[in-house]
Amino acid sequence: MSETPLTDRRTIRNFIVFEGIDGTGTTTQIRELVGTLRRRGMRVWATAEPTSSPIGMLIRGMLRGETPARPETIAYLFAADRHEHLFGQGGIVERSGGGEIVVCDRYLFSSLAYQGSTCGKDLPERLNRDFPLPSLVFHFRVDPETSLERVKSRGSIEIFEHIEFQHRVSEAYEGVFGDFAGSGMKIVGVDAGKPIAETAAFIAAETERFFGANAV
Ligand code: TYD
């Protein structure tokens, strides 16, 4: 394995990531933040992983349990989907380089936490080692019982959406973001149990403070 530390890599300045276990409300909060930034005249691209590309669709079939796959295969596919999402035409690198703020629902930290919990840390760390980091990441924390209830109320259940696994991933996230503490990327913890408007105001203020100090 490479000797380069996991956290020693370049960051993309106007790239923001939202992370957390299933059902923490990242999608709702991304919608809120994107609205706020656009009203302030900023150009924003809201995106997500897994993407809607053919690789992302293949992953979705596996997560629904329709296409059987080894955990390692899923780890490889998430990395392939991410590579295209970053470097493909109209992707994260191109758009952020062109001055857009890119806001992404999940990124490599999901692979480190979820795949780290299904196939061990080695493979996801290796597959994600060379990808650039966002400059700002919001880590949504909520009690797994509460978030799983939200997921269940939405209907269909994916292979990762059961309580023991969500507890494992929740702990894994703490380790992952602990590992990135000295990376130069700003990590903001979000109490996702609060009302939507309160959380949205907190995230908007943190983002404004960050970009005030690191003007886009
Ligand atoms: P999610 O954002 O929860 O999508 P939706 O709310 O539309 O179902 O993502 C789907 C699942 O994919 C989620 O359980 C987390 C998992 N995932 C990984 O396991 N590894 C990854 O690298 C990514 C990006 C997601």
Which CATH superfamily includes the segment(s) 13-211?
P-loop containing nucleotide triphosphate hydrolases (3.40.50.300)
Positions of the chain with pLDDT lower than 50, given as ranges: 1-2
Task: Find out whether the beta carbon of 50 lies less than 6 Å from any atom of ligand 1.
Answer: yes
In the numeric block, the tokens 């989907």 are attached to 81
The ranges assigned to domains in the chain are 13-211
Our answer on whether the CB atom of 165 is closer than 6 Å to any ligand 1 atom is no
Residue 26 Cα to ligand 1 middle (Å)? 11
Ligand 1 pocket residue status of 22, Cβ below 6 Å = yes
Is the CB of residue 78 below 6 angstroms from any atom belonging to ligand 1? yes
Q: Give the per-residue pLDDT at 124.
A: 98
CA 28 – CA 203 distance, rounded (Å)? 12
49 lines ligand 1 (CB under 6 A): yes
Residue nearest to atom 19 of ligand 1 (CA): 114
> Alpha helices of 88-162 — where are they, by DSSP H?
92-97, 108-110, 116-119, 122-128, 144-153
Nearest protein Cα to ligand 1, atom 5: 22
Cα distances from 183 to residues 7, 13, 101, 176, in angstroms, run 5, 13, 20, 12
Q: What is the pLDDT of residue 1?
A: 44
Question: Which residue's CA is minimally distant from atom 23 of ligand 1?
Answer: 110
Q: What is the pLDDT of residue 125?
A: 97
Answer whether 110 contacts ligand 1 (Cβ < 6 A): yes
CB of 63 sitting under 6 A from ligand 1? yes
Give the pTM.
Answer: 0.95
The model's pLDDT over 81-137, given as tens digits with 9 standing for 90+, comes to: 999 999 999 999 999 999 999 999 999 999 999 999 999 999 999 999 999 999 999
